[in-house]
């Protein structure tokens, strides 16, 4: 039997979804094979990588555009894991715990969304998942919404959970070393997105600003810096109001960034033109 292409799967999925999925509308018949990949917490880095990779492949085969973020995330996880086997990090055991705890935030959000437990899905992930499933955004935007939710919202919480003490300066140095790993992958990530989803990503770059610049902004600079600050505030805060303020800040920052990411396609004419560029059709006007 011929395997469904990504574009065919996307069109088929769009045909059975409402144009703007509501909380109820997004509660589809979650498949057992998808849920099996996200049901249990990740055991270690290898388990996280393997199951995220399997999920990316499964979503891609079904034309589910949530796969686009995972294409990037799986590659990043593999590269950080590779660094754990060398001398890249001062405390590789802490970095491994950090990586697994971070990945588990994504797993929990995805599982809750698939099950229809929307009260348990953080708002930034709700925006990311619903946008990707609606199929009205650019693939570049689907990727950036996922990066935004994971880095600008999840990362501070994951750092707090895994712990930034003792020896906080050394852990911060390892946190920054991950930035260097990510920076090395920027061009490769753009090529992955172009190869699997959008031949015209280079043309989109000229219209939206380079994808690598956008990724750098959300992952390598303010996003990761703010995540560390948020973890420090959660760790050092002695009163519950501090925790509420941090959560409010993370949500406000991430939702604001999410709507900024979507802004270029809010105009229907602009969106159509960008979609043509992304698909590699630069001839239409």
pLDDT for the residue numbered 179:
84
Q: Which of residues 110 and 266 earns the better pLDDT score? A: 110
Give the Cα separation of 263 and 201 in Å (integer): 17
Give the Cα separation of 234 and 227 in Å (integer): 11
Q: What region does 103 belong to: left with phi over 0, alpha with psi -120 to 50, or beta?
A: alpha
Contacts of 203 (CB under 8 A, 6+ apart): 277, 278, 280, 282
| Model confidence band, residue 270 (pLDDT cutoffs 50, 70, 90) | very low
| Model confidence band, residue 201 (pLDDT cutoffs 50, 70, 90) | low
pLDDT for the residue numbered 47:
97
Report DSSP letters for 69-103, one per residue.
HHHHHHHHHHHHHHHHTTTS-S-HHHHHHHHHHHH
Average pLDDT across the chain, whole number: 81
Q: pLDDT over 90 for what percent of the chain?
A: 55
**Is 255 a residue whose pLDDT tops 60?**
yes
What is the per-residue pLDDT across 151-190, written as a single tens digit (0 to 9) for each? 999 999 999 999 999 999 999 999 999 988 887 787 777 7
């Amino acid at each position: 039997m011929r395997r469904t292409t990504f574009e065919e799967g996307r069109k088929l999925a769009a045909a059975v979804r409402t144009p703007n999925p509501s909380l109820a509308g997004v509660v589809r018949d979650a498949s057992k094979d998808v849920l099996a990949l996200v049901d249990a917490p990740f055991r270690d880095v290898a388990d996280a990588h393997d199951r995220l990779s399997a999920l990316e492949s499964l979503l891609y085969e079904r034309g589910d555009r949530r796969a686009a973020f995972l294409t990037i995330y799986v590659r990043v996880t593999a590269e950080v894991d590779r660094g754990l086997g060398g001398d890249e990090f001062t405390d590789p055991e802490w970095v491994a715990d950090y990586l697994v705890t971070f990945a588990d935030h994504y797993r929990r959000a995805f599982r809750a969304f698939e099950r229809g437990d929307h009260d348990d899905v953080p708002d930034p992930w709700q925006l990311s998942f619903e946008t990707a499933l609606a199929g009205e955004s650019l693939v570049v935007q689907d990727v950036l919404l996922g990066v935004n939710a994971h880095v600008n919202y999840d990362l501070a919480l994951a750092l707090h959970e895994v712990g930034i003490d003792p020896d906080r300066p050394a852990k911060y140095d390892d946190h920054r070393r991950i930035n260097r790993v990510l920076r090395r992958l920027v061009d490769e990530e753009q090529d992955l997105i172009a190869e699997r989803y959008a031949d015209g990503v280079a043309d989109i770059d000229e219209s939206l600003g380079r994808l690598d610049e956008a990724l750098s902004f959300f992952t390598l600079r303010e996003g990761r810096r703010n995540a560390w600050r948020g973890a420090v505030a959660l760790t050092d805060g002695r009163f519950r109001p501090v925790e509420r303020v941090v959560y409010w800040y993370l949500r406000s920052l991430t939702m604001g960034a999410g709507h900024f990411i979507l802004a270029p396609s809010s105009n229907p004419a602009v969106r159509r033109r960008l979609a043509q560029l992304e698909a590699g059709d630069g001839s239409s006007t």
